[in-house]
């Protein structure tokens, strides 16, 4: 029994290789029966055993004749194989063992029936595909429904699903999808068929290069009858597009809810086949062509049509933030759709189509409808989304940039143009600048184009009122670092002074708005606004005037802050811009040293007196221009016994003049009484017909005097100790009452020498203000001719030190106009110098070229008419002349 099994195994091996075998070794001999029932007779065998105990060897000689197939074996075997192939194609069970089928194919091939077997197999596959494809063509594409039960959906979504209903109200499964996926399953069944006919594929087909392999044969038939069939292809694409359209119409949450019902599963199967399996049918070029021409082109057309209509509708129905979020959601859905069942090559044109229809066609409309609102409301997230979406569209950023510039100009102009906002202009500009900076950093990802556009827009609107911004920024700085309440801004049409006022307000001593660190940050912000101003010379004029007041009054908040601001201006505008400002600081330092030397001089000369004199020596070229005013100091008035100490004021002036000119010969001193400041320290108590009042007088620009003198007052009960902080003009008026109890306006004017307008303001501050140390008859708010003034016997005040408004420190309209006029006068000199410089270098130049070069050299804006006037002035002064042959050309006159 054992030998029989061994013999049968050997026979099988011989059957596979018998044409090539000439000898074989067997352990035993006998007759074996083939597993397929074929009988084979063994040839003769010879045993060799030369040595005792050695293994026996059996040598078999060649068969004398080939074994023959039984009758009808070929037809019966093919019928068996055909039934198996059809069972595989119809997805039914196979009656035969797969090994048996494989052996049958091997037997047929071994008996030279390979060619016939190959043709028969191809014919069976081809007939099956033809029969099935006819059935597939019968299903109309509109039956390709989603497969979801309509009755389970909300009413508004039922209209989306248009498939036929079953008796229970459910939508019938999509026939075309089922048919196509069934054909796809049969196509994949070719793998099993190829496995059964593997011996045929590895021998006969492999030896004939002109024949496609069994796998390629199946792909070829599938492509020819299904993929390349125009009608099948059209119906398939129609169904795919219908499914995609319905998927787009459903909410994502609804689609997720219906996932178990396989709403998108058929679509994924179809698209997977078109993209993946079709690639195996032909070369990649052909598969790409089929995909692009048959599906992708129509798919993109439908996408354009869908989103074009949707964009038009939603732009009318929704607000901009809601619309932007919808566009973002649509883009995410389409990107997910590519990942799920589309080819990667479709992503770029698909996303571009959505961007064009939902964004590109509505760029201007979107910005006009909602950009201003988003910026006004500071909607950071929506602005970020807006920028992200517009960055995806061609010209989107450029359109956004243009509207960004227009918004900044419009909003900034409302701040600058309105005179009612002058008091808050600088702070609003700083706040607005912080806002746009934050939007650029967070929303516009620090895009340099938006930064530059912002600077351009700020330069445009901030210079719409020439001069006023520069003035107010300087005033703001003065209030920051000066120890007094902000000076009221006076009406003016010039806008460049705005920065100077703002800076001045922040640099005043006693300013409690910020710490040193915060103050430094504020000054940095001011410098940013300062950079946008064209007329920086106007800023410099107002800034220098305000700085002079702070230094002379000694009310600067911080010397370090002053020098820090000076350093910022120097870095921004150059050393020439700050040379005079630096000279002012040097004068103050030198004045301190001079006063130390003067005190030593007084001690060495043994000059008696209880008056302390302090003088500030100012270089005229560094400091603002002050109109000198000659006033009458007490010694110049009619003398009496009450003016002994007061007479020392003029004597000390002369002593200092002698001391200073002795050290600096050739110089000239001019006393500036308009900037005088005094502190009257008084003790009101009852004495014989007079009240003892020690007075300290500070002349801030030229002389600083401390003196004590007597002013007669009527007998009154004790009023207490007080200090009156007044100006030099106010002091001169009070000194009048050493000589009498009542004076008229004309008498005071004659005695003090103060000009009429200044005297009226001085008397108004003493007799009509909050601290009324004088009384006026008749009583009124204004000082008129003939008014009489006397000491206020009932004067009381809760404070020890009383500050009476320093009228000369207030900036009048005339003072502002004078400062602006000086700036314009300096500009004329700069224009003349620039023209002469250019003509001296070029010798001959046309009018247009000369104007262009002058514009490039000047650092402030100038009108063509003003330039023309300066050219005419230079021609009149023989610096240049018109060409005799060409009146539009100028020649330099050496």
What stretches in the chain show pLDDT beneath 50? Answer: 1-3, 5-7, 10, 13-14, 16-50, 141-174, 251-264, 275-286, 483-496, 638, 641-645, 686-718, 808-810
What CA–CA distance (Å, rounded) separates 674 from 700?
Answer: 9
What residues form DSSP beta bridges with 724? 680, 802
Residues 6+ apart with CB under 8 A from 477: 499, 500, 501, 502, 503, 504, 505, 506, 507, 523, 526, 543, 546, 565
Cβ–Cβ < 8 Å for 504, 540: no
What CA–CA distance (Å, rounded) separates 150 from 127?
Answer: 39
Q: Would you give the end-to-end CA distance of the chain in angstroms?
A: 138
Q: What strands lie across the sheet with 57-60, from one edge to the other?
A: 25-26, 57-60, 45-48
- What H or E segment, with its residue span, contains residue 767? helix 756-767
Q: What is the DSSP annotation of 132-176? A: HHHHHHTS-GGG------GGGS-HHHHTT--PPB-TTSPBPP-HH
- Provide φ and ψ at 557, rounded to 5°: -65, -40
Cβ–Cβ < 8 Å for 748, 763: yes
What residues form DSSP beta bridges with 696? 679, 706
Structure tokens at 456: 């351009």
Cβ–Cβ < 8 Å for 444, 388: no
What CA–CA distance (Å, rounded) separates 22 from 62?
Answer: 6
What CA–CA distance (Å, rounded) separates 676 from 183?
Answer: 108
Q: What strands lie across the sheet with 788-791, from one edge to the other?
A: 742-744, 788-791, 774-777
Three-state helix/strand/coil letters over 666-688: CCCCCCCHHHEEEEEEEEECCCC
SS3 assignment, position 268: helix
Location of structure tokens 């247009």: 848
What CA–CA distance (Å, rounded) separates 592 from 604?
Answer: 19
Write down the pLDDT at residue 350. 93
What residues form DSSP beta bridges with 890? 845, 882
Cβ–Cβ < 8 Å for 151, 170: yes
- Provide φ and ψ at 35, rounded to 5°: -65, -20
Residues 6+ apart with CB under 8 A from 663: 597
Structure tokens at 810: 């207030």
SS3 assignment, position 774: strand
What CA–CA distance (Å, rounded) separates 742 from 788?
Answer: 7
Ordered by where they begin, the domains of the chain are 589-636+643-675 (no CATH), 722-811 (3.30.230.130), 814-892 (1.10.10.10)
What CA–CA distance (Å, rounded) separates 196 from 105?
Answer: 8
Write down the pLDDT at residue 267. 52
SS3 assignment, position 745: helix
Structure tokens at 608: 């008696």
Cβ–Cβ < 8 Å for 844, 891: yes
Q: Specify the long-range contacts of residues 787-794, CB closer than 8 Å, at least 24 apart.
A: 787/744, 787/745, 787/763, 788/742, 788/743, 788/744, 789/742, 789/743, 789/744, 789/745, 789/748, 789/763, 790/737, 790/741, 790/742, 790/743, 791/713, 791/714, 791/737, 791/741, 793/713, 793/714, 793/716
Write down the pLDDT at residue 760. 87
What CA–CA distance (Å, rounded) separates 714 from 306?
Answer: 100
Chain center to CA of 651: 68
Burial of 623 (0-12, 13-18, 19+ CB in 10 A): buried
Burial of 167 (0-12, 13-18, 19+ CB in 10 A): exposed
SS3 assignment, position 775: strand
Cβ–Cβ < 8 Å for 267, 243: yes
What CA–CA distance (Å, rounded) separates 139 from 175?
Answer: 7
Cα angle value 604/658/619 (rounded, 5°) = 115
Structure tokens at 580: 């005079």
Location of structure tokens 């040379």: 579
What CA–CA distance (Å, rounded) separates 769 from 763?
Answer: 9
What CA–CA distance (Å, rounded) separates 568 from 574?
Answer: 10
Write down the pLDDT at residue 25. 32
Report the length, in residues, of the chain.
894
Closest to 546 in 3D by CA, of 645, 593, 479, 599: 479
Structure tokens at 142: 């509109």
Cβ–Cβ < 8 Å for 294, 233: yes
What CA–CA distance (Å, rounded) separates 566 from 560?
Answer: 10
CA atoms within 13 A on the CB side of 300: 18
What CA–CA distance (Å, rounded) separates 757 from 760?
Answer: 5
What CA–CA distance (Å, rounded) separates 403 from 415?
Answer: 19
Three-state helix/strand/coil letters over 34-96: CCCCCECCCCCEEEECCCCCCCCEEEECCCCCCCCCCCCHHHHHHHHHHHHHHHHHCCCCCCC
Write down the pLDDT at residue 679. 74
Structure tokens at 612: 């302390």
Write down the pLDDT at residue 656. 86
Write down the pLDDT at residue 26. 31
């Amino acid at each position: 029994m054992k030998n029989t099994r061994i013999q049968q195994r050997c026979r099988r091996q011989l059957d596979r290789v018998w044409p090539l075998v000439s000898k074989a070794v067997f352990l035993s001999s006998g007759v074996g029966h083939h597993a397929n029932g074929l009988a084979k007779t063994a040839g003769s065998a010879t045993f060799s055993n030369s040595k005792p105990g050695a293994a026996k060897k059996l040598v078999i000689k060649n068969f004398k004749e080939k074994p023959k197939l039984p009758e009808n074996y070929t037809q019966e075997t093919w019928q068996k194989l055909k039934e198996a192939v059809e069972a595989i194609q119809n997805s039914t069970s196979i009656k035969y063992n797969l090994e048996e089928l494989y052996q049958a194919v091997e037997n047929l091939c071994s008996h030279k029936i390979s060619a016939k077997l190959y043709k028969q197999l191809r014919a069976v596959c081809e007939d099956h595909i033809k029969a099935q494809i006819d059935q597939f063509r019968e299903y109309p594409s509109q039956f390709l429904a989603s497969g979801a039960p309509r009755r389970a959906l909300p009413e508004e979504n039922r209209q989306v699903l248009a498939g036929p209903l079953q008796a229970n109200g459910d939508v019938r499964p999509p026939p075309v999808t089922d048919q196509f996926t069934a054909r796809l399953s049969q196509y994949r069944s070719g793998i099993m068929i190829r496995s059964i006919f593997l011996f045929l594929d590895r021998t006969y087909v492999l030896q004939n290069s002109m024949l496609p392999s069994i796998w390629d044969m199946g792909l070829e038939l599938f492509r020819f009858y299904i993929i390349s069939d125009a009608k099948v292809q059209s119906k398939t694409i129609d169904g795919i597009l219908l499914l995609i359209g319905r998927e787009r119409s459903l909410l994502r949450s609804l689609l997720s809810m219906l996932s178990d019902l396989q709403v998108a599963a058929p679509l994924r199967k179809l698209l997977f086949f078109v993209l993946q399996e079709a690639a195996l049918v032909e070369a990649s070029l052909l598969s790409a062509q089929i995909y692009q021409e048959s599906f992708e082109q129509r798919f993109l057309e439908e996408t354009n049509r869908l989103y074009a209509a949707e964009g038009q509708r939603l732009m009318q129905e929704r607000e901009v933030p809601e619309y932007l979020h919808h566009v973002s959601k649509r883009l995410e859905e389409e990107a997910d759709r590519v990942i799920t069942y589309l080819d990667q090559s479709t992503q770029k044109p698909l996303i571009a189509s959505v961007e064009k229809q939902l964004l590109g066609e509505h760029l201007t409309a979107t910005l006009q409808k909602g950009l201003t609102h988003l910026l006004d409301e500071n909607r950071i997230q929506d602005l970020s989304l807006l920028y992200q979406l517009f960055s995806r569209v061609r010209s989107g950023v450029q359109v956004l940039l243009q509207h960004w510039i227009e918004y900044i100009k419009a909003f900034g102009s409302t701040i600058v143009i309105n005179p009612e906002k002058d008091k808050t202009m600088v702070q609003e500009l700083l706040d607005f600048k912080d806002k746009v900076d934050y939007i650029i950093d967070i929303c516009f990802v620090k895009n340099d184009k938006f930064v530059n556009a912002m600077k351009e827009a700020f330069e445009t609107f901030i210079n719409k009122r020439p001069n006023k911004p520069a003035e107010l920024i300087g005033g703001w700085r003065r209030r920051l670092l000066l120890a007094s309440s902000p000076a009221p801004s006076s009406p003016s049409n010039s806008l460049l002074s705005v920065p100077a006022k703002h800076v001045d307000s922040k640099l005043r001593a006693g300013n409690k708005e910020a710490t040193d660190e915060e103050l430094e940050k504020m000054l940095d912000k001011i410098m940013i606004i300062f950079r946008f101003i064209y007329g920086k010379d106007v800023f410099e004029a107002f800034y220098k005037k305000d700085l002079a007041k702070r230094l002379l009054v000694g009310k600067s908040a911080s010397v370090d802050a002053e020098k820090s601001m000076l350093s910022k201006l120097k870095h921004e505008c150059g050393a020439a811009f700050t040379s005079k400002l630096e000279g002012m600081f040097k004068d103050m330092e030198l004045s301190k040293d001079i006063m130390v030397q003067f005190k030593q001089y007084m001690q060495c000369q043994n000059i008696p007196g209880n008056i302390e004199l302090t003088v500030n020596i100012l270089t005229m070229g560094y400091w603002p221009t002050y109109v000198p005013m000659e006033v009458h100091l007490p010694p110049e008035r009619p003398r009496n016994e009450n003016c002994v100490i007061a007479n020392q004021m003029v004597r000390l002036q002369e002593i200092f003049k002698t001391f200073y000119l002795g050290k600096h010969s050739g110089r000239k001193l001019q006393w500036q009484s308009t900037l005088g400041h005094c502190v009257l320290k008084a003790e009101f108590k009852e004495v014989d017909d007079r009240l003892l009042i020690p007075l300290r007088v500070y002349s801030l620009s030229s002389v600083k005097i401390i003196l004590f003198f007597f002013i007669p007052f009527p007998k009154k009960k004790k009023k207490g100790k007080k200090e009156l902080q007044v100006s030099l003009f106010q002091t001169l008026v009070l000194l009048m009452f050493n000589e009498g109890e009542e004076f008229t306006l004309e008498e005071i004017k004659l005695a003090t020498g103060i000009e009429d307008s200044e005297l009226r303001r001085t008397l108004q501050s003493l007799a009509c203000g909050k601290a009324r140390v004088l009384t006026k008859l008749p009583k009124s708010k204004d000082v008129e001719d003939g008014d009489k003034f006397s000491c206020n016997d009932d004067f009381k005040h809760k404070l020890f030190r009383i500050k009476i408004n320093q009228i000369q420190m207030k900036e009048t309209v005339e003072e502002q106009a004078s400062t602006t006029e000086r700036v314009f006068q300096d500009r004329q000199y700069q224009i003349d110098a620039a023209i002469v410089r250019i003509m001296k270098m070029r010798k001959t130049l046309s009018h247009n070229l000369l104007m262009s070069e002058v514009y490039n050299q000047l650092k402030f804006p100038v009108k063509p008419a003003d330039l023309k006037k300066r050219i005419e002035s230079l021609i009149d002064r023989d610096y240049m002349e018109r060409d005799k042959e060409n009146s539009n050309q100028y020649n330099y006159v050496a």
